[in-house]
Structure 1
Amino acid sequence: MASRCLVVAVIGFFTSGFQYALASSGTDAEGFIEGSNLSLNLRNFYSNQRTSGRSHLTIKKPWGNETTRDRITWVQAAMLNYSSGYTLGVVGVGIDGSLFSAAPLERGHGAIANGGDRVLVDSDGDAVPTWSRLGVADVKFKVSKTELKVGRMMVDTPVLRPKDNRALPSSFQGAAFTSNEWDGLKIQGGSFDKAIIRTGSRSEDFASFYGNRAITGDRLNYFGATAQVLPSLEISAYGSRFENMWDQGYLGVTHKLSVESGYSLKTALNYYHTQDQGEKRLGYIKNDAYSLAVTGGHGGHSVTLAWQQVLGNEYFDYVYESTGNYLANALYSDYSGPNEKSWQVRYDLDLGAYGVPGLAFSVWHAKGWGIDGTHYDGDRNGHTAGYNVRGIDGASHYENGIVLSYLVQSGPMQKWNFKAIGYNHRATSGQIEGNYDELRVVTTIPIKFF
């Protein structure tokens, strides 16, 4: 009964919104060709990673896997992006398309390690010389300030958004709409059934990030809104269903306070509730995860203090190949283990305030502890144990990170972006990220044709 009422309410909302759109549309359309743009993004991704302690990487050999401590990833990627304008009329029609391609510059069998985690490999574990895919391929429809897309695309929501920490980002296959009919209110909804993976050319059924990766759900649906309630206060609320896996609700509240002396204070609360759904393919799930972050700023300086906690005997989870996680401590690690508590301190510096616009620096330390899966009972009543956590008792970990980035402001290299990232992560037994030191250098060169 409740779901029927929800459907009726949603239909009523869109009926009234569509009537409003018909009355106000067709005034700002540029035309299919006139509104088109074509660009090329060249991204060079380099990573040097070393493990320590109990953590190892693997190299595939004819006689079996061989362990190693080091891995080097060096990939040149290209993203050719086309977006049309909209045809004239009440309902505008357009298309988007992006061709993604990548070539590993480091192809040494031992150097790439760990199979297809960062480069595409063949059955022998050797790097494939190049790989390509349609990252984006959608048809879009627009009425007034409401847009619907069908096909492959990228969306940005608290429950589903692309993962972009490799040479190429992921994308998703399905349908989604965004509506900005009312000032200060953004409404989004979508339904997706495939992820187009970062390292490769294929699409995959949705699985969970922390659960048994062999278990897939049927489809991810979401609906939600972000409202600018006051000039200083923004509230977001979303609901999603990962069919036969879980239902997930999200609430985000952000408050910004500025004073004339140049000081600012930002407070951000993010909360997720996850509950098993349908066939419970990952077993019984019930957990809450929240974070509270406070950022004080003055001039080009800002300091953030964050607290995060998971209340539940399994991981706080989201869809694999996505970063559907707005929690404050989603860093190198997510700090989302069962019953985990974590804190973070972060310092950011925008050197534009000191005469060097485009140059920025960030450094942080985060620590998580109390990871305890010994009370997990998600496999009761004959269900699958979707999370391998029972052996985790009191695990802890920490990380240090530093980022230096520069965005060229003018001249022939305008909008070129250079970024260097350093990570250091240490963990006790049972914490899945393990012990790593890593340096990444990412260069992005955008070229706009029209």
Structure 2
Amino acid sequence: MSKTPLARAVAFATLGASFALPGMAHADFIGDSKASLELRNFYMNRDFRQDLGQPNPPAVTGKSPTEYRSKSEEWAQGFLLRYESGYTEGTVGFGVDAIGTLGLRLDSGRGTSGTGLLQLDRETGRAQDSYGDFGVTAKAKVSNSTLKLGTLMPKLPVVMSNDSRLLPQSFQGGWLNSAELSGLNVDLGRLNRVNQRDSSDHEVMLVTNSRNASTGAGGARNITYRGGTTSDEFNFGGLSYKWNDSLTTSYHYGALDNFYKQHYLSAVHVLPLGDKQSLKSDLRFARSTDDGSSNVDNKALGAMFTYSLGYHSFGLGYQKMSGDTGFAYINGTDAFLVNFVQISDFAFKDERSWQARYDYNFAGLGIPGLSLMTRYISGDNVDLGANRDEGKEWERNTDITYVIQEGPLKNLGIKWRNATVRSSFGNDLDENRLIVSYTLPLM
């Protein structure tokens, strides 16, 4: 049976790690290994609703963005091959993880590219036929502390790897996680390169001035830079403590060298209210300040309260920005904000926003595997500068997900994501995403 290039790459990485550890027992290294292949078929359509549509980037037209398109639309197939080894025996256990990714273009036109599903050619602006990456992570474990060096996908309040398109965003760097004390997690690390979700290049990092370039709303964040616009150093650290089954609190610190420093406090509490009822409180506060070449100055306060009753969940959220700028984070990542949703983050200068959300698990009607999420977020008070009215925006999201529970297609997942955005200072758009995914265990 012939193997794909991705399968061969992971196999070689595994063999290489084994040969690199001579004289050590490999029973746990091999016996505890896991591998899987995820197939991800992704269709995305973004319909620009304003009169002229969305300006084409210069790379597409070869000149200044005076030509407009009414939509972005692409269809692609992704393959994600993941391998995670166990550890060698001994006081210090060694192991290796690997991930190989491949994205294939199924449909994309010159005038409809730019959804973030596919890598664009830098000269023509056309979507490339294929792109991908291969990443390896070396790891060492002592007791309950693990050090990882290489390809990383952190999910921490100050740096959250994005996986909302065909292939995930990844970083290069080092990350130490320690859980020596019961209930306490400690994280320390440094990142120096990022591979964006629609790229195969490992590049230095940028600070975001607008969550998505297609919103045209970067100026509303009011972040400016002096000198260069990139950084090759992001340092992070954090403490998370689980006091009991109901309460977890955390503090995290992140610093993008020469751009900003950020302190993050959060608390999550779940209050049981009786049979199949609970109230979850999620509180978050971040303080961001400049570091060198930027003017970053922001306080971000957020709170989300969710009442669960059987198969239903009802949520209410509030988010408030204050300071001289909007919220800052590494370009392309997710932001740990209660109103960071499908299109907008509602984190522009002085913005206030409210969210109402409803979730339902159709297992309550005898259809396990089917779920619904819908929410509405409204933001106002955005500071757009002198002589301009305050900016306002709203967004509506709906997710419908079904995972097949039995039969030959068991665990096949189908998700439809719909969003509508209206803004007085950015683009109006309607968006649909259809994602079909299946993960095949290999070992």
TM-score range, shorter chain: 0.7 to 0.9
Counterpart Cα distance in 2 of 1:421 and 1:239: 32
Q: Give the RMSD, CA atoms, in angstroms.
A: 1.9
Counterpart Cα distance in 2 of 1:101 and 1:418: 20
Q: 1:174 — aligned with what?
A: 173
Q: 1:281 — aligned with what?
A: 293
1:51 touches 1:57 (CA, 8 Å); kept in 2? Answer: no
Q: 2:323 — aligned with what?
A: 312
Q: Deviation string for 1:80-119 (max 9, x for gaps)?
A: 111111111010000111111101111322232x4x8432
Distance 1:305 1:244, change over 3 A: same
Q: 2:54 — aligned with what?
A: 56
Q: 2:6 — aligned with what?
A: none
Q: 1:327 aligns with which of 321, 328, 337?
A: 337
Q: Deviation string for 1:405-436 (max 9, x for gaps)?
A: 0122333323221110000000002x4xx211
Q: 1:444 aligns with which of 419, 437, 441?
A: 437
Show the 5 A alignment for 1:371-382.
Answer: 371-374=382-385
1:288 touches 1:311 (CA, 8 Å); kept in 2? Answer: yes
Distance 1:174 1:108, change over 3 A: same
Counterpart Cα distance in 2 of 1:158 and 1:241: 12
Letter in 1 for 2:127: A
TM-score, scaled relative to structure 1: 0.84
Q: 1:31 — aligned with what?
A: 28
Q: 2:252 — aligned with what?
A: 238
**2:39 is equivalent to residue 42 of structure 1:** yes
Q: 1:97 — aligned with what?
A: 98
**2:138 is equivalent to residue 133 of structure 1:** no
Letter in 2 for 1:335: F
Counterpart Cα distance in 2 of 1:62 and 1:322: 29
2:240 touches 2:249 (CA, 8 Å); kept in 1? Answer: yes
Counterpart Cα distance in 1 of 2:200 and 2:169: 10
Instruction: Give the deviation of 1:183 after TM superposition.
Output: 2.1
TM-score, scaled relative to structure 2: 0.86
Q: 1:107 — aligned with what?
A: 108
State the SS of the aligned residue for 1:106: strand
Counterpart Cα distance in 1 of 2:130 and 2:236: 35
Instruction: Give the deviation of 1:125 after TM superposition.
Output: 2.2
Q: 2:401 aligns with which of 393, 402, 405?
A: 405
**2:231 is equivalent to residue 221 of structure 1:** no
1:314 touches 1:373 (CA, 8 Å); kept in 2? Answer: no
Counterpart Cα distance in 2 of 1:371 and 1:52: 21
Instruction: Give the deviation of 1:393 after TM superposition.
Output: 4.5
Number of equivalences: 397
Counterpart Cα distance in 1 of 2:250 and 2:27: 31
Distance 1:344 1:99, change over 3 A: same
Q: 1:270 — aligned with what?
A: 284
Q: 1:71 — aligned with what?
A: 72
Q: Which segments of structure 1 move beyond 4 Å, counting only runs of 4 or more?
A: 62-65, 211-214, 390-393
Q: Deviation string for 1:45-97 (max 9, x for gaps)?
A: 10111101254142723566521111211110101111111111010000111
Counterpart Cα distance in 2 of 1:174 and 1:365: 37
2:207 touches 2:230 (CA, 8 Å); kept in 1? Answer: yes
Counterpart Cα distance in 2 of 1:226 and 1:69: 46
Q: Deviation string for 1:11-42 (max 9, x for gaps)?
A: xxxxxxxxxxxxxxxxxx96111111121111
Letter in 2 for 1:264: S
Q: 2:367 — aligned with what?
A: 356
Counterpart Cα distance in 1 of 2:287 and 2:62: 46
Q: Which moved more, 1:415-424 or 1:337-346?
A: 415-424
1:58 touches 1:68 (CA, 8 Å); kept in 2? Answer: yes
Instruction: Give the deviation of 1:352 after TM superposition.
Output: 1.9
Instruction: Give the deviation of 1:298 after TM superposition.
Output: 0.3
Q: Deviation string for 1:321-374 (max 9, x for gaps)?
A: 211x22110012100000000000000001123322221101111000000153
Counterpart Cα distance in 1 of 2:89 and 2:61: 59
Percent identical across equivalent pairs?
A: 29
State the SS of the aligned residue for 1:31: helix
Q: 1:420 — aligned with what?
A: 416
2:69 touches 2:112 (CA, 8 Å); kept in 1? Answer: no
Instruction: Give the deviation of 1:245 after TM superposition.
Output: 1.2
Instruction: Give the deviation of 1:195 after TM superposition.
Output: 0.7
Q: Which moved more, 1:391-400 or 1:311-320?
A: 391-400
Which runs of 5 or more structure 2 residues have no equivalent in the other structure? 1-25, 210-222
1:218 touches 1:244 (CA, 8 Å); kept in 2? Answer: no
